[in-house]
Structure 1
């Protein structure tokens, strides 16, 4: 038995030595090839918020592609807006790419202005928010028309993510216009499915929507007039970070300050992302085709 134990011990040491040698060889080869994994480890990991909105999925995947090409690791965290802002304030997330001001997310700005950094300049400055209906509903053109047609809509506004700024503003719209309606929360994909099904049957539906959004290229929709301007007029989209983000990632912070997109750019990006099975593949295609634009952000 002693002999067998001794042989077993020697064989174990030899086996561990071989494994260690293989591991060292693998590490050496990785460093020698200058792989992105080795570079990523040096530059750090960025915890990026993601929301299940079409434009947000597009831009988060776009930045993931750009940053990983530059040697960073990017982890996307799919969360609702309320959780995202709280996590930024508590340093559990690094960056949120989508804050709508001056109206939609003003409550988050007021709540976290001392705990979160809000960008001074928007990356998109032509956003719009409001209630929409299919264009075939010719007699409904204003929010003020909704109570007269309550039975047509079963007294329901089809909504999306609870906690989203636009959902909170829509609750204000219901109060301001004294609408006898209930806002039904769900998710953006579920809301779009409801709109799709209603339009296929030419049935009535009313929902809060926004530009930029690919849905306007899919369906014939119109915004209802908002005489009281509860939704505001033109909205702008900003990014927000935890307070020490610029100190920890100065290079990325500069790129974010230079980031600008117009209707054509964001529309094309969203289309590419929507047309591919994996959003990251659509984002890669867009990044490959827009290097001149991206180089201006990274100057």
Structure 2
């Protein structure tokens, strides 16, 4: 073979290798692109530092990540969550209390946020709570008689919570000479625990479901004017377009139902994990594993 023919042969071989590599590279890129298209996107979930909210958000994180989704928590107060949903910065909020506690948020964002018509818990209750050893106090109307004993304070939690807004309405409606002191749910529960240990007067806004009712002797004060309403139900809310982008997740969460036993056992598992110095999700993982039949009902299995 002459030198020119050898040279031409080498050039043809090099071109062939380059073309084959290019074809291979294109196929690999297409596969990667298809792989990415098949990946399920990350869901931005709102979370509030309330015991039941920590429990259910971690439960859904476990369930959804078992199904191939990624879930990121956004620890925000209720007002910020609703604004984030309205502005497409958040995908879902798992806890909207109606018809009373979060009614203002529904009124404000009804055209910008999708409020589900499906409830996941139907036996909620909200009101002012005192330790049972305060035997002379039975009603919200009694509070002004003992204003000095309580230092004129109602120990509250997150300032953006619907219950805190309604509690301010309670103060006005009953003409209470009290100030509502905001903090956080953990701080409020700690104040409640400390007061009970010392058998001191304390009044706090609380709700069912909540673990404290199984841990402390407490009673709701009667609310004759029904400012807190009667039975509350818990719903979820999503940003506009969520159901179209996440149809199966939307359907699963609409199917989600919990009774007192289910939510109580979930909260207990999460609390145990936290008491052992573990993350809440460890308790949620255990609960999901032990209640797979119920979870499968939500997932239509």
TM-score by length of 1: 0.87
Does residue 119 of structure 2 align to residue 122 of structure 1?
Answer: yes
Computing the radius of gyration from Cα coordinates, the structure with the larger value is 2
Does residue 151 of structure 2 align to residue 154 of structure 1?
Answer: yes
Where does structure 1 lack aligned partners over 5 or more consecutive residues? Answer: 1-27, 32-37
Matches within 5 A, 1:213-292: 213-276=210-273, 277-292=278-293
SS of the residue corresponding to residue 97 of structure 2 reads strand
Provide the C-alpha distance between the structure 2 equivalents of 1:76 and 1:288, rounded to a whole number of angstroms: 21
| Cα RMSD after superposing both structures | 1.4
> 2:176 — aligned with what?
179
Question: 124, 132, 135: which is aligned to 1:135?
Answer: 132
Matches within 5 A, 1:101-116: 101-116=98-113
Equivalent pairs, count: 264
Indicate how the Cα distance of structure 1 residues 109 and 282 shifts in structure 2: closer, same or farther if over 3 A, else same: same
C-alpha displacement at 1:121, in angstroms? Answer: 1.5
Deviations 1:189-232 (A, max 9, x none): 00000000000000000000000000111110000000000000
Question: 209, 213, 225: which is aligned to 1:212?
Answer: 209
SS of the residue corresponding to residue 77 of structure 1 reads strand
Provide the C-alpha distance between the structure 2 equivalents of 1:213 and 1:251, rounded to a whole number of angstroms: 30
> 2:296 — aligned with what?
295
Checking the alignment, whether the CA contact within 8 Å between 1:128 and 1:234 is kept in structure 2 is: yes
> 1:12 — aligned with what?
none
> 2:167 — aligned with what?
170
Give the 4+ runs in structure 1 shifted more than 3 A. Answer: 38-41
Checking the alignment, whether the CA contact within 8 Å between 1:39 and 1:71 is kept in structure 2 is: no
TM-score by length of 2: 0.86
